[in-house]
A and B are shown apart, each in its own frame.
Chain A
């Protein structure tokens, strides 16, 4: 409506008074009627700064299928009037709800990724495709990638608008390798895991080395490769003091020479003595099927911990062993 879109300064002219009345009649969201003291003197009208009426937020004009990357093309703070979602954030008062998004400082403080929706990322990828080369056709499965390129290097480059192009975070280099692709025997693998400690993940069998002690990325990469080489060679060597490995150092439970073995042997010997079989061979006793079964159950109990299954298997094997039924 022409009347509604008249800029405010036109209303200053006395001739527009009728127009203003027309305005108030037509659009309900008008500016508040300025009271009659205006007519008192012209000077007051010019001094008082006139305010524009607050426009309705942009969200009301948004359709469902609009082009979102154009609303948030870059990382920008959260604008409640530009985001059509009814987000609430904040700790609620008693019997209340979290605060609404208008004027919500919490929503401003947190980082938002409204500029990185899947649509936006697809567009970025399309734009970057021109600069990329083809993926080699022979490497079409994960296993082949693993086989030919067991070591994976992760580096990050940072671009920002600022006075300098350097970013200290860019020198970090992460080297990941699966231990199954390295040529390690049992002792070497255990020694390597003990040497690296926290950097090895048991569930995925991946060794991760993260270096950032040198100032340049290239130097860090060389250092990481050097570390891997040294670890590999050291774990193959056996030192003098490794013979003193105690039971507390063992990673998993070994049945041989364990207290459990001694207990079971004593028990079995006593049983045999009770049955008046005096000439019994120790190896024979330990070689029976029940003892094998028992041994497996104890090993699984110790290594996996207690759960219903292991405990019930253990129970069955002990019952068979001690001939209870």
Chain B
């Protein structure tokens, strides 16, 4: 079909200047960037799509545009502002977060990305008592995975940032004051036992130093409601572990508090991985609970909703261009109406439906 208006933005360097007029268009992220920025963190269906089309295209949508607008006008001397993306299942919160992360990466911010906080509070094989604080518990496996990914994303900063204190790991190894942060990360990756403490150190250093202004810090956490919910982890004596007893969770909670400046915190709420929450819950108070809300207050809630008609049209065009929709009726008006009705303009549902066609 001849398309008079392509659904793609062919912008290269103009990526930073997404504005209102670009709403509904797709833009391309080069695969090189994908590997550095998102080594582990895309939703599984989206990464399958990326592989199939051999290109990563995100749609520019209102919530992301709003966030970018705020980010451009942030005052970095003020304490970090927290933005919470919330919405029903499948509306595009994680991908909006990815859009924001990509934008910040292009602007040379340091990205601290936790792809899914729910992974840290459930199904952990190895729980060790913490070496740093006896009452807390370590998760070496998750911590080391995160450190590896952090290294991939922020290679160039690791040599620039210097630690400000001396950290002693054990009798033989220690990191001196003034050595680059990369050493701490290496230490954590090599000595898996110290991985959780390494994560704690990294977070603390970044928080302290971003206020000095050497770099801008973006803290992006997906599924932040896991930090204040319940866990399914048990100790050897089968007693339940509360989230604050996990060292990773404790440090991350400190990170999303707004007592530092020089950056921003963007969070998403997610019911999909959450424990003990009803399936239809998507509002902030329902998912965060009283504790979470009090901890994150004041924050800016941003609703991510289903596709508007223009966005829906654009998404269908994108699939058609990539010859993803093979059904002969897919590009007719009736076909589109049927798809709209079946998916109710929900991006996740639409993607699943189109996968069958």
A binds B: yes
**For the complex, what is the distance from the CA of A306 to the CA of B283, rounded to whole Å?**
6
A292 within 8 A of B: no
CB distance from A177 to the nearest CB of B (A): 34
A324 touching B300 in the complex, CB below 8 Å, given contacts A267-B79, A270-B79, A274-B78: yes
Looking at the complex, which one of B286, B295, B298, B303 makes contact with A321 (CB distance below 8 Å)?
B298
A308→B88 CA distance, assembly (Å): 13
A315 CA to B284 CA, complexed, in Å = 12
Q: If the complex has contacts A315-B301, A318-B300, are A270 and B73 also in contact, measured as CB distance less than 8 A?
A: no
Nearest A residue to B86, CB-CB: A311
| Contact A306 B73, beta carbon cutoff 8 Å | no
| Interface of chain B residues 296 through 333 with chain A (CB within 8 A) | 297-303
B284 contact set on A, CB distance < 8 A: 306, 311
Interface status of A260 (Cβ within 8 A of chain B): yes
A319 contact set on B, CB distance < 8 A? 300
Q: Is the CB of B258 closer than 8 A to any CB of chain A?
A: yes
Min CB distance, B280 to chain A, in Å?
Answer: 13
**A190 to B78, alpha carbons, bound, how many Å?**
42
Distance in angstroms between the alpha carbons of A31 and B297 in the assembled complex: 88
Contacts of B165 in A (CB 8 A): none
Which residues of chain A (285-325) have a CB below 8 Å from chain B?
294, 298, 301-302, 305-308, 311, 314-315, 318-319, 321-325
List, in ascending order, chain A residues with CB within 8 A of B77's CB: 274-275
CB contacts under 8 Å to A, within B66-87, are: 70, 73-75, 77-79, 81
Cβ-defined contact, B294 with A260, below 8 A: yes
Contact indicator B79/A259 (Cβ below 8 Å): no
A266 contacts the other chain (Cβ, under 8 Å)? yes
A325 neighbours in B (Cβ, 8 Å): 73
Are A315 and B261 touching (Cβ within 8 A)? no
Determine how close the nearest CB of chain A comes to the CB of B258; give it in whole angstroms.
6
Choose from A259, A263, A271, A315 the contact partner of B78 (Cβ within 8 Å).
Answer: A271
Contact B301 A311 (CB under 8 A): yes
Main secondary structure of the interface of B (DSSP, over half): mixed
Chain B 252-296 interface mask (CB, 8 Å, partner A; 1/0): 000000110100000000000000000000011110000000110
Which chain B residues lie closer than 8 Å to A302 at the CB level? 285
Nearest residue, chain B, Cβ from A317? B298
- With a cutoff of 8 Å between Cβ atoms, the chain A residues found around residue B74 in the complex are 324
Chain B residues closer than 8 Å to A307, beta-carbon distance: 283
Residues of B within 8 A of A306 (CB): 283-286
A127 to B175, CA, bound (A): 100
B227 to chain A, nearest CB (A): 16
Tell me whether B298 and A294 are in contact (CB under 8 A): yes
Smallest beta-carbon distance B132→chain A, Å: 26
In contact, A270 and B78 (Cβ under 8 angstroms)? yes
CB of A270 to closest CB in B, whole Å: 4
Indicate with 1 or 0, residue by residue over A242-263, a CB within 8 angstroms of chain B CB atoms: 0000000000000000111001
Structural contact, B297 and A274, CB atoms closer than 8 A: no
Is B73 a contact of A318 with CB atoms below 8 Å? no
Known contacts A311-B283, A322-B81: A260-B297 contact under CB 8 Å: yes
Contact flags A212-237 to B (C-beta < 8 A → 1, else 0)? 00000000000000000000000000
Closest chain B residue, CB of each to CB of A258: B294
Q: Judge whether B301 and A314 touch: CB under 8 Å.
A: yes
Q: Is A263 within 8 A of B298, CB to CB?
A: yes
Q: Assuming the A-B contacts A267-B79, A274-B78, are A322 and B283 also in contact, with contact meaning beta carbons closer than 8 angstroms in the complex?
A: no
Give, as a whole number of angstroms, the nearest-CB distance from A235 to chain B: 28
Task: Decide if A264 is an interface residue (CB 8 Å cutoff).
Answer: yes
Residue of B75, B78, B298 with most chain A CB atoms under a 10 A cut-off: B298
Q: Are B261 and A274 in contact (CB under 8 A)?
A: yes
**A308: nearest residue on chain B (CB-CB)?**
B303
Chain A: CB-nearest residue to B81:
A322
Please state if B70 and A324 are interface contacts (CB–CB under 8 Å). Answer: yes
Q: Are B258 and A259 in contact (CB under 8 A)?
A: no
**A271 engages B79 (CB within 8 Å):** yes
In the assembled complex, the CB of A27 is this many whole angstroms from the nearest CB of chain B, namely 61
**Which chain B residues in 218-237 approach chain A with CB under 8 Å?**
none
B108 → A minimal CB distance (Å):
22
Instruction: Indicate if the CB atoms of B261 and A267 lie closer than 8 Å.
Output: no
Nearest CB of B to A294, in Å: 7
Query: Could you say which residues of chain A place their CB within 8 Å of the CB of B299?
Result: 318
Query: In the bound complex, do residue A266 and residue B259 qualify as a contact, i.e. CB atoms below 8 Å apart?
Result: yes
Given contacts A274-B261, A305-B285, A311-B283, contact A267 B294 (CB under 8 A): no
Contact of A323 among B75, B302, B303 (CB under 8 A): B75
Q: Complex: how many Å from CA A318 to CA B300?
A: 7
Question: What chain A residues lie within 8 Å of B297 (beta carbons)?
Answer: 259-260, 263-264, 298
- Cβ-defined contact, B258 with A267, below 8 A: yes
Closest to B76 in A: A274
Measured between beta carbons, the chain A residues less than 8 angstroms from B303 are: 308, 311
A318 — which chain B residues lie within 8 A by C-beta? 298-300
Q: Once the chains are docked, how many angstroms separate the CA of A322 from the CA of B77?
A: 12
Interface string of A21-58 (1 = CB under 8 A from B): 00000000000000000000000000000000000000
* Nearest-Cβ distance from residue B105 to partner chain A, whole angstroms: 22
User: B78, A322: Cβ atoms under 8 Å?
Assistant: yes
Q: Closest residue to A269 on the B side, CB-wise?
A: B79
Q: Once bound together, how far apart are the Cα atoms of A255 and B284, in whole Å?
A: 19
Which residues on B sit within 8 Å (CB–CB) of A294? 298
Contact across chains for A270 and B261 when beta carbons are under 8 A apart: yes
Pair B301/A259 contact, Cβ less than 8 Å: no
Distance to closest chain A CB from B228 (angstroms): 13
Q: How far is the CB of B321 from chain A (nearest CB, A)?
A: 35
Chain B positions near chain A (C-beta within 8 angstroms): 70, 73-75, 77-79, 81, 258-259, 261, 283-286, 294-295, 297-303
CB-defined A-B contacts under 8 Å, sample of 10 = A270-B79, A270-B258, A270-B261, A274-B75, A274-B78, A274-B79, A294-B298, A318-B299, A324-B73, A325-B73
Listed in ascending order, the chain A residues whose CB lies under 8 Å from chain B are 258-260, 263-264, 266-267, 270-271, 274-275, 294, 298, 301-302, 305-308, 311, 314-315, 318-319, 321-325
17 more A-B residue pairs beyond the given contacts A263-B297, A306-B286, with a C-beta to C-beta distance below 8 A: A258-B294, A259-B297, A260-B297, A267-B298, A270-B79, A270-B258, A270-B259, A271-B78, A275-B77, A305-B283, A306-B283, A311-B283, A311-B284, A318-B298, A322-B298, A323-B75, A324-B70
